[in-house]
Structures are given as structure tokens and as C-alpha cells.
């Protein structure tokens, strides 16, 4: 994570706004933000579907791809889910993103709505912190032919296609056999996703700066199975055993679902493009953890 100023990055000129559609509270913040940006003379694009009915001249509507191609800063208004969706869609465009929290937890959207004018003004002036977060790419294949694929910002989860069904699979890392397992599945998480489903399943919290991913078993049918943390450049393969009687599902960020059939393989590796996140200058990751997870303060 580093500090940046206008002297080494130059001013933003075209701002894209994305967020949670049809949410009254998010709409209120979108209007506040839009007014601020237009007052300051920025070009503004609102994502189609989010900005319909809210767009104010001379702002315009644009789809997410146009926003990625044309804007040099994207502000997401919503919860972590909105930020994850936008990050997965826009990572290839190398455009920095900032989140304003209109959701529940707000691990990624760390500007509070009441601070919108103050914090956004500071960031537009170049007073911010920037960090990179990597994504994962997953592909479901059979006989080396890719059948389905998607990126994931938070996590990739293999789970049964039907409730209360145990599945069996084998895990390989860089081609080396790790283990075979029966249970409810497996979570492969980035540091960003380590405070999400992975944490609920007993996985470790990975600091965002770590170049690592975790493999967290879901209700394994053995007491000796434990989470594993490996370097992010390792290639993971999960073979969904052909002895399974039912299909499974592969969830990417809980937003994209890919079918997995017995005998198919799942290959997971770090995506080439990372996501650039901007934070206010007073951002503190461990203060965020204390606040969101209810940890004790200093005595």
C-alpha cells in the first residue's frame, strides 16, 4: 500500500459511478456524489441500470464496459457485494476503484455516507492510499477442454449441487497430490475473501498485502483436515471424483455459479490483472477488523 499525490499521478478527470440498483439509500448517496463531481467540473458516467432515473446533466449513462474503458476513477456505492461485482468486471481495465459503504459490513467500501463530500474531495485532490488486490481465475474442464470459467475477487467455492449431499474430490497443487477428501466442499480464498465465507468456515485471516491464498475445507469427514495457506502463484487443481453420484456447483464470489460434473477438473490460478483500490489517507486495516469483528480495543 502506498501514498499518492497529484504530483506523481495527475488529477482524475472522468469519474464512473457504479453501485446497488434500486436502493433508496444508495440513490441518495449517488445524488450527493454526482452533485459534488459536477460542481467540480468532472465528467461523470453512471452505470446503466444504476443511474436510470438519477442521471443529471451533463452526466451520462454508460454500461460497465464503457465505464472501464473511458473513466480514470470508478466510485462504487453499495456494500461489499457491489464492490466485488465491480472489481470482477473491471479488473482488466486497470482503473482504480473507491467504495462508499451503503451495505452491511463494509470491508471494501470504507468511506461512510456521511463522509462522502469530505473524503471524496480529498481523494480527488490526490490525498489517498492505494493498494493492489489480486483475483483468482477458475476453469472447469474435461479432457483439457475448458467448459466454463470465471474470475473471483473473494473466493471460489466447490459445494454439492443438492443440500445435505457429501462430495468427494482430490486436490493437487502444482501437479503434486495433496489429499483426497469427502465433505461439503472446499473454499479457495484470496486475502480479500479471507474475512468472508472462509472466516466463517474456520479459515485464517490473511492480511491484504500477503501474496497467498487459503484452502479451507467445508465440514470435512475427518478431524485431521485443516486449512492450508500457499503462495498465490501456485496452481491448484481439484478433481471432482467420477464416483460422485450427483453434480456439484462452483461458486465465484457467490455471484457466478458454474456446474461441475463427476470426472471433471477445476483449475484455479492467480489472474494476471490485479485490482487497484483507493482508500482515504486515514485507512487502517486492523482498525477495520476491530470494528467489524468486534475485537477488543486497547486497555
Q: Annotated active-site positions, please?
A: 80
Can you give the length of the chain in residues? 299
253 closest CA partner among 109, 82, 17: 82
- Classified as helix, coil or strand, 258 is strand
Alpha-carbon Rg for the chain, nearest whole angstrom, is 21
Rounded CA-CA distance 77/101 in Å is 6
Where does the chain have alpha helices with state H? Answer: 6-9, 24-39, 64-70, 80-90, 116-124, 197-200, 285-293
Residues 6+ apart with CB under 8 A from 132: 274, 275, 276, 277
Residues 6+ apart with CB under 8 A from 291: none
Burial of 5 by CB count in 10 Å (0-12 exposed, 13-18 middle, 19+ buried)? exposed
193 closest CA partner among 268, 247, 127: 268
Amino acid at each position: 500500500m502506498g501514498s499518492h499525490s497529484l504530483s506523481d499521478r495527475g488529477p482524475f478527470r472522468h469519474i464512473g459511478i457504479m453501485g446497488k440498483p434500486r436502493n433508496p439509500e444508495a440513490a441518495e448517496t449517488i445524488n450527493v456524489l454526482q452533485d459534488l463531481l459536477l460542481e467540480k467540473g468532472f465528467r461523470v458516467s453512471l452505470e446503466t441500470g444504476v443511474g436510470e432515473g438519477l442521471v443529471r446533466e451533463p452526466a451520462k449513462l454508460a454500461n460497465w464496459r464503457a465505464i472501464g474503458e473511458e473513466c480514470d476513477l470508478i466510485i462504487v456505492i453499495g456494500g461489499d457485494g457491489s464492490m466485488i461485482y465491480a472489481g470482477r468486471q473491471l479488473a482488466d481495465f486497470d482503473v482504480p476503484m473507491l467504495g462508499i459503504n451503503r451495505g452491511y459490513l463494509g470491508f471494501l467500501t470504507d468511506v461512510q455516507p456521511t463522509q462522502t463530500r469530505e473524503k471524496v474531495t480529498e481523494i480527488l485532490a490526490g490525498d489517498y492510499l492505494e493498494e493492489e488486490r489480486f483475483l483468482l481465475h477458475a476453469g472447469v474442464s474435461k479432457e483439457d477442454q475448458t467448459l466454463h470459467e470465471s474470475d473471483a475477487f473473494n473466493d471460489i467455492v466447490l459445494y454439492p449441487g443438492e443440500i445435505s449431499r457429501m462430495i468427494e474430490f482430490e486436490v493437487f497443487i502444482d501437479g503434486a497430490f495433496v489429499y483426497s477428501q469427502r465433505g461439503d466442499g472446499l473454499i479457495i480464498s484470496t486475502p480479500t475473501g479471507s474475512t468472508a465465507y472462509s472466516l466463517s468456515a474456520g479459515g485464517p485471516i490473511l492480511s491484504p498485502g500477503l501474496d497467498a491464498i487459503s484452502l479451507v475445507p467445508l465440514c470435512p469427514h475427518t478431524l485431521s483436515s485443516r486449512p492450508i495457506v500457499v503462495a498465490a502463484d501456485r496452481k491448484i487443481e481439484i478433481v471432482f471424483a467420477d464416483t460422485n453420484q450427483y453434480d456439484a456447483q462452483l461458486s465465484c464470489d457467490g455471484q457466478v455459479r458454474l456446474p461441475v460434473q463427476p470426472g471433471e477438473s477445476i483449475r484455479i490460478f492467480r489472474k494476471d490483472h490485479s485490482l487497484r483500490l483507493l482508500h482515504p489517507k486515514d485507512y487502517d486495516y486492523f482498525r477495520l477488523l476491530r470494528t467489524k469483528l468486534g475485537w477488543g480495543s486497547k486497555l
